[in-house]
């Protein structure tokens, strides 16, 4: 690729970023702030339609704190409304209804706040930590935010830490061991590392990177696997999710550990690009031999592809091609009849499934648009530090 070709693809990525950011600020944030929050009972709705929320939906813990994260990121992206009420009310609602007596957080409540599922999943705890870290950037270094994060991390360590590397998947079911919750725990650790000088967070990040390199990423293929047995032996279900290949790559690059981590990240992106992208979109799942297992394409793998390739493009301009293609793909999912909503799943025949927009995708969308914007303005030596 010539320098002029790279410049053209970077220019295309910049144009697409402007379109994505305009949609986010003018349509998505206003809509989800007004109609995505339950202003009568508190808490965030799970899904929105053009006519409003699906009000009776049970509410997952992860969605509550993901939405807090999204509104906390708004000001740095150019959203000029005041996010503080949504952040503080969202956290108050969450702590009042989802906290278990042991200090972990249950996974599901009814719309009226009645507990529906008492399981405590590592995945959900990771997003609580992430939301607290991001909220600190808006609310300031309030002691209670750090105290909540410290207390939760201590409880996670006490209740879920394994004798060897990594954490159990949850309570009461501790297995199978899963890579995905560790990925988001790494994301939370990196977010706290950026806002706190406590060594706890850097040590946690380093431990999870080591776990990924030693156990989660298969040596032979270089792909990250999803499910594991007691001794971190891969399960018989050896499916590979392209979205998670890209997401792990993005986090390994952000970790700043370089060397083996950077090489692993490059391999993850290479597998994702070569085998996981079909018809211009990242598909849901590959078989062990990297053939397509599930050719449908949800929205979130597109955002993770965009985050990883945009970050790499700062150092290697060849990745602007994939970043621009990812941004174009994401824009397809956001082009709906109702401004501020999105499609969640593209079928193999090229048609989107018509269904309410899930709030859970907002976290992915916000992160991808932010990462693309950062890459377009970053100096080459700023990206690898995270």
Q: HEC states along 42-107?
A: CCECCEEECCEECCCCCEEHHHHHHHHHHHHHHHHHCCCCCCHHHHHHHHHHHHHHHECCCCCECC
Q: Is residue 228 part of a domain?
A: no
pLDDT tens digits, 344-376 = 999 999 999 999 999 999 999 999 999 999 999
Angstrom distances, CA of residue 210 to CA of 192, 257, 264: 18, 10, 12
Residue 254 DSSP one-character state: H
Q: Is residue 383 part of a domain?
A: yes
Cβ proximity of 362 and 341 under 8 Å: no
Tokens of 351: 């048609």
Q: Is residue 266 part of a domain?
A: yes
Residue entry with tokens 């994401």: 330
Q: How confident is the model at residue 48 (pLDDT cuts 50, 70, 90)?
A: very high
**132 shares its domain with 270:** no
Q: Is residue 226 part of a domain?
A: no
**20 shares its domain with 89:** no
**92 shares its domain with 212:** yes
Is 379 a residue whose pLDDT tops 50? Answer: no
**327 shares its domain with 281:** yes
**206 shares its domain with 247:** no
**179 shares its domain with 264:** no
For residue 256, the model assigns a pLDDT of 86
Q: Is residue 230 part of a domain?
A: no
Q: How confident is the model at residue 337 (pLDDT cuts 50, 70, 90)?
A: confident
**160 shares its domain with 255:** no
Element (H, E) at 177: strand 177-178
What residues make up the domain containing 92?
35-216
Query: Averaged over 132-151, what is the pLDDT?
Result: 96
Looking at every residue in the chain, the average pLDDT score rounds to 95
**136 shares its domain with 261:** no
Strand 297-298 versus strand 292-294 pairing type = unpaired
| pTM over 0.85, yes/no | yes
* Domain CATH code at residue 71: 1.50.10.10
Is 164 a residue whose pLDDT tops 90? Answer: yes
* Domain end (from 184, 216, 248): 216
What CA–CA distance (Å, rounded) separates 75 from 79?
Answer: 5
Tokens of 175: 């297995």
For residue 385, the model assigns a pLDDT of 38
Tokens of 265: 């990240």
For residue 1, the model assigns a pLDDT of 65
Domain count, the chain: 2
Cβ proximity of 190 and 205 under 8 Å: yes
pLDDT tens digits, 209-264 = 999 999 999 999 999 999 999 899 999 889 999 999 999 999 999 998 779 999 99
**316 shares its domain with 299:** yes
Nearest Cα to 358, choosing from 63, 21, 4, 43?
63
Which segment of 110-114, 141-145, 271-275, 377-381 scores lowest on mean pLDDT? Answer: 377-381
Cβ proximity of 305 and 241 under 8 Å: no
Q: Is residue 258 part of a domain?
A: yes
For residue 284, the model assigns a pLDDT of 98
Is 380 a residue whose pLDDT tops 70? Answer: no
**200 shares its domain with 173:** yes
Angstrom distances, CA of residue 51 to CA of 25, 199, 270, 341: 20, 48, 42, 11
What CA–CA distance (Å, rounded) separates 274 from 249?
Answer: 15
pLDDT tens digits, 70-82 = 999 999 999 999 9
Q: How confident is the model at residue 93 (pLDDT cuts 50, 70, 90)?
A: very high
Query: Averaged over 50-68, what is the pLDDT?
Result: 96
Query: Averaged over 9-25, what is the pLDDT?
Result: 96
Is 382 a residue whose pLDDT tops 90? Answer: no
Q: Is residue 305 part of a domain?
A: yes
Q: How confident is the model at residue 334 (pLDDT cuts 50, 70, 90)?
A: very high
**193 shares its domain with 244:** no
**67 shares its domain with 201:** yes
Please work out, in degrees rounded to the nearest 5, the angle formed at the alpha carbon of residue 311 by the alpha carbons of 276 and 278: 15
Q: Is residue 229 part of a domain?
A: no
């Amino acid at each position: 690729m010539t320098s002029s070709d790279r410049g053209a693809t970077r220019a295309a990525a910049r144009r697409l970023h402007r379109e994505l950011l305009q949609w986010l600020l003018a349509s998505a944030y206003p809509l989800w702030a007004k109609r995505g929050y339950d202003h009568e009972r508190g808490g965030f709705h799970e899904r929105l339609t053009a006519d409003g929320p699906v009000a009776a939906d049970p509410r997952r813990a992860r969605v509550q704190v993901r939405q807090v994260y999204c509104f906390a990121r708004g000001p740095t992206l150019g959203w000029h409304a005041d996010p503080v009420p949504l952040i503080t009310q969202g956290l108050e609602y969450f702590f009042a209804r989802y906290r278990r007596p042991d200090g972990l957080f249950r996974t599901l409540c009814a719309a009226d706040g009645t507990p529906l599922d008492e399981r405590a999943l590592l995945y959900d705890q990771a997003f609580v930590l992430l939301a607290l870290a991001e909220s600190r950037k808006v609310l300031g270094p309030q002691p209670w935010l750090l105290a909540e994060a410290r207390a939760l991390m201590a409880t996670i360590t006490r209740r879920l830490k394994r004798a060897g590397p990594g954490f159990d998947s949850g309570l009461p079911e501790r297995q199978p061991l899963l890579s995905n919750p560790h990925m988001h725990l790494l994301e939370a650790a990196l977010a706290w590392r950026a806002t706190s000088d406590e060594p706890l967070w850097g040590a946690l990040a380093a431990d999870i990177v080591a776990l990924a390199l030693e156990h989660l990423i298969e040596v032979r293929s270089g792909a990250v696997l999803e499910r594991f047995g007691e001794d971190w032996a891969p399960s018989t279900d050896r499916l590979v999710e392209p979205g998670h290949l890209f997401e792990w790559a993005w986090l390994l690059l952000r970790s700043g550990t370089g060397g083996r981590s950077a090489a692993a990240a490059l391999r993850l992106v290479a597998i994702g690009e070569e085998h996981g992208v079909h018809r211009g979109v990242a598909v849901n799942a590959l078989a062990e031999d990297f053939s397509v297992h599930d050719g449908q394409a949800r929205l979130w793998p597109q955002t993770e592809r965009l985050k990883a390739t945009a970050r790499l493009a700062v150092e290697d301009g060849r990745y602007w091609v994939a970043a621009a293609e990812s941004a174009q793909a994401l824009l397809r999912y956001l082009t709906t009849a109702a401004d501020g909503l999105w499609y969640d799943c593209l079928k193999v025949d090229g048609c989107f499934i018509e269904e309410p927009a899930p709030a859970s995708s907002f976290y992915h969308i916000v992160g991808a648009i932010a990462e693309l914007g950062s890459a377009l303005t970053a100096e080459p030596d700023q990206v690898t530090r995270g």
